[in-house]
Structure 1
Amino acid sequence: MNSSHGSAKSQTSLAWIVVALLVPVALLNYLDRQMLASMKASVMQDVAGIDNDAAWGWILALFKWTYAFVSPFGGYFADKFGRRGVIIASLFFWSLVTWATGQVTTYEQLLFARAAMGISEAFYIPAALALIADYHVGRTRSRAVGLHQMGIYAGVILGGFSGYVADSPDLGWRWAFAACGLVGILYAFPLFLVLRDSPQLNGEKRESVSILSSTKSLLSNGSFVLLVLYFTLPALAAWVVRDWMPSILKEEFGIGQGMAGVSATLYWQVAAIVGAIIGGWLADRWMMKTSRGRIYVSALGMSMIVPSMFGVGYAPQTGMLLVAILFLVLFGLGWGFFDCNNMPILCQITKPHLRASGYGLMNLVSISCGGLADWGFGELQDRNVPLFGIFSVFASVAVISIVLVLLIRPRYSDDSTASDH
């Protein structure tokens, strides 16, 4: 009896160690991709061939497109060959690309570097979240995913401040890329020595299943299709908030670029951290009463995003930056509730050997549509559509999302998923 209790305690400790090992990787994953936007002026001035915003837009878009279209392959490889190897290889190669980005001298070289960044980073998130779900099979899954996502939010926050590094005469944007790349390369070695796949799923992950059959199996699952739509629709607003909010705050409230950048990222990302902590804890608790606990918590988060979108759109009419920040904070709280439960809900509707593949498909659709949202927002702005009208559309989409997630029907419990073949 004591031996069984000790074994269970050791397994629980190992499950949390896995999360702790991956949080720094998640931070680097988003820091390396986000800091380019904060160092735009320095990069455009230093790299030959970036003559206008359209050229800069191609740099940003190329990362998204490569990331989106490679994500399903990254997920499939993690399911087929194991999460650990995919995670470590992804970290090593995107860190190498990050370092190389600091060495580019031409526009074409920077385009190639961002495409390579998109390809190498696309393998990480599906594999990492699947590995966390493999280890956390009981009442800790949402909290574990939420803790991992906190690393992502921290990476975005640090990326928001990287403009100060670019402006420093002693450091500069090239130093930032080189330093972050070297940190990632070095961290890959101890991660290789310590990180392990969950032993319970090693056999199932190596099933001889093609990527086409995996995709067919997922798309024939009605609840998975609902989850893809649910995962995608709120992301339309999130991409616009992440990519356009600094310029929106700068123009609407007449503030400087530095203050606009911090106001557009810091507060709602901190709120997302709080939301992930509370949302993860609440979802795990609610699961003790009903198998739909995580669905209900995610829907609750979406109900926060609805008024936040109306509020962000209306805030410029008040002339008060604080109003916009408060509604962004509400958005962040709702996003945390939503973000920490996507993989756990996916685990309730798919078998373990399809988790990473499923998340890769979700990324493909979500990020591809996110690029369209960025383009569409710019088009509406050019046509002088009022900001309140644009964000009202996003709020309406969030309402649809609530309906979609409530239609999902769980097939597996947390404890039974790992053993269901």
Structure 2
Amino acid sequence: MSASPTTDDSSSLSRRAWLVVGLLFPVALLNYLDRQMIASMKVSVMGEIKDIGSEANWGHMLASFKWVYAIFSPIGGYIADRFSRKLTICGSLFAWSLITWLTGHVGSFNELYWARTAMGISEAFYIPAALALIADYHTGGTRSRAVGVHQMGIYCGVMTGGFAGFVADSPDLGWRSMFDFTGLAGILYAIPLLFLLRDVPIQVVKQAAPIKTTVIDKFIQALDNIIETTRELLTNRNFILLVLYFTLPALAAWVVRDWMPAILQKAFNISQGKAGVSASLYWQAAALLSAILGGWLADRWMRRSQRGRIYVSAIGMMLIIPAMYGVGNAPALNSFALAVASLVLFGVGWGFFDCNNMPILSQIVRPDMRATGYGIMNFVSMMCGGVADWGFGVMSDRHVPLNMIFGVFALVCVVSLMIVLMIRPKREG
């Protein structure tokens, strides 16, 4: 009698698939906790490190992180696709945690600038590898939900980072203590993660006689693989559309993440702690809940249509558009309630959008190109996000009205909505 997969085997595989998501949840949390807390502690950091000087310099520092993150994202994705997603994730976590700890010990703008730049290199290797590993384990019916749960870690990290302003305001703690604690936590978690995380086994067809290759041969072969992978992705119409769709809303999202605490503090004359929490807690909590709902809805919609994930993501984009108008006009109307309500609406839309990007990518590229593809998406998105951060700092120095800036963001999201509906996904695998 031939053997066949048993219920126990299927249950064991399902448990392993969700265990991977659970193991990566704290990593995602730490990844974005580090990014958000510096935005929440901006006043304290600039107050102590005097040579930062201007909003443009602060924006340039934020942009530098994104630009090096962007450059190294495709590299990290390629390494994860060709070698090991597990080792890429664990190495990235250890490196960025060490740099986080070092950030708490900088003494000048130059040192802070280069610490954040190095942080961009180390963090670039995580997201493409993590989302590709989740997609490897969750083949189909649970993919959007699994990505949504992972993204909840990101939202929890941003929400936690929002409280960093209160820590920075505390005379007994200060802003440096947040970097010390977060860095040490990441270093310690990297050790058990290395032993618990597993790559999906890949079957390799063995050749009858091994072929001896030199280092130069291996280098040429790797270069050929990179060129062929890049060529295939960049000639894929659906992939190009997804890159654009992924990038355009991120222009607004990075400004919201990086600058909203400062915007609320200045516009409504509130404390650094209250501004940090208000700028992150509400919309990230909304995104957290909507990512779960959006993942569930997308997985169910996929039973009826191959475009189910696209439709759910498009609904999210439709919600982001009016949210941008609300955020931009709240200060002029002196309505803190409107600002918070608009951020909540933005969070709901963002959760629907965020939990479906890797699942949509999995429908339009081969499994062995997922991490590389997401790395390229990150490259374009982060490069543009860096320009948005720097540009917002420059525009703040020149007193450009917020409603004008966020009005442009809203129009960009309208274009993004039209783009996603042009994507033609293939059968999920």
TM bucket, shorter chain: over 0.9
Contact persistence 1:240–1:374 (CA under 8 A): yes
Where do 1:264-279 residues align within 5 Å?
Answer: 264-279=279-294
Which runs of no fewer than 5 residues in structure 1 stay unpaired? none
Match of 2:231 among 192, 207, 216: 216
Instruction: Give the Å deviation of 1:382.
Output: 5.4
- 1:407 aligned counterpart, secondary structure: coil
The Cα RMSD (Å) is 2.2
Contact persistence 1:134–1:201 (CA under 8 A): no
Instruction: Give the Å deviation of 1:165.
Output: 1.8
Question: What's the counterpart of residue 156 of structure 2?
Answer: 154
Instruction: Give the Å deviation of 1:266.
Output: 1.1
Contact persistence 1:347–1:412 (CA under 8 A): no
Contact persistence 1:48–1:105 (CA under 8 A): no
- 2:171 aligned counterpart, secondary structure: coil
Instruction: Give the Å deviation of 1:406.
Output: 0.9
Match of 1:114 among 103, 113, 116: 116
Question: What's the counterpart of residue 126 of structure 2?
Answer: 124
Deviations 1:328-354 (A, max 9, x none): 111100000000000000000000111
* Structure 2 CA distance for aligned equivalents of residues 281 and 385 of structure 1: 41
Q: 1:202 to 1:68 in 2, by over 3 A?
A: farther
User: What is the TM-score when the length of structure 2 is the normalising length?
Assistant: 0.90
Percent identity between the two aligned chains: 62
* Structure 2 CA distance for aligned equivalents of residues 369 and 388 of structure 1: 20
Matched, 1:308 2:323: yes
* Structure 1 CA distance for aligned equivalents of residues 204 and 300 of structure 2: 29
Q: 1:319 to 1:171 in 2, by over 3 A?
A: closer
User: What is the TM-score when the length of structure 1 is the normalising length?
Assistant: 0.92
* Structure 2 CA distance for aligned equivalents of residues 375 and 9 of structure 1: 49
Deviations 1:271-306 (A, max 9, x none): 110110110000001011111100000001001111
Where do 1:14-413 residues align within 5 Å?
Answer: 14-47=16-49, 49-200=51-202, 210-381=225-396, 385-413=400-428
Matched, 1:12 2:42: no
Instruction: Give the Å deviation of 1:375.
Output: 3.5
* Structure 2 CA distance for aligned equivalents of residues 376 and 54 of structure 1: 8
State which drifts further: 69-78 or 338-347.
69-78
Q: Which structure's relative contact order is higher, taking Cα pairs within 8 Å and 6+ residues apart? A: 2
Contact persistence 1:312–1:391 (CA under 8 A): yes
Deviations 1:103-154 (A, max 9, x none): 2233332222111111001000000000000000020000000100110111
Instruction: Give the Å deviation of 1:257.
Output: 3.1
Which runs of no fewer than 5 residues in structure 2 stay unpaired? 206-217
Contact persistence 1:226–1:405 (CA under 8 A): yes
State which drifts further: 120-129 or 179-188.
179-188
State which drifts further: 312-321 or 226-235.
312-321
Instruction: Give the Å deviation of 1:176.
Output: 1.8
Instruction: Give the Å deviation of 1:384.
Output: 5.1
- 1:199 aligned counterpart, secondary structure: coil
* Structure 1 CA distance for aligned equivalents of residues 169 and 402 of structure 2: 31
State which drifts further: 262-271 or 166-175.
166-175
**One-letter code of the match for 2:120?**
G
Q: 1:390 to 1:60 in 2, by over 3 A?
A: closer
State which drifts further: 193-202 or 123-132.
193-202
Contact persistence 2:86–2:197 (CA under 8 A): yes
Instruction: Give the Å deviation of 1:170.
Output: 2.7
Q: 1:123 to 1:383 in 2, by over 3 A?
A: same
Contact persistence 2:56–2:394 (CA under 8 A): no
Instruction: Give the Å deviation of 1:201.
Output: 6.8
Instruction: Give the Å deviation of 1:36.
Output: 1.9
Contact persistence 2:37–2:165 (CA under 8 A): yes
Contact persistence 2:63–2:390 (CA under 8 A): no
* Structure 1 CA distance for aligned equivalents of residues 112 and 396 of structure 2: 28
- 2:163 aligned counterpart, secondary structure: helix
* Structure 2 CA distance for aligned equivalents of residues 258 and 174 of structure 1: 15
* Structure 1 CA distance for aligned equivalents of residues 151 and 269 of structure 2: 33
Instruction: Give the Å deviation of 1:53.
Output: 3.6
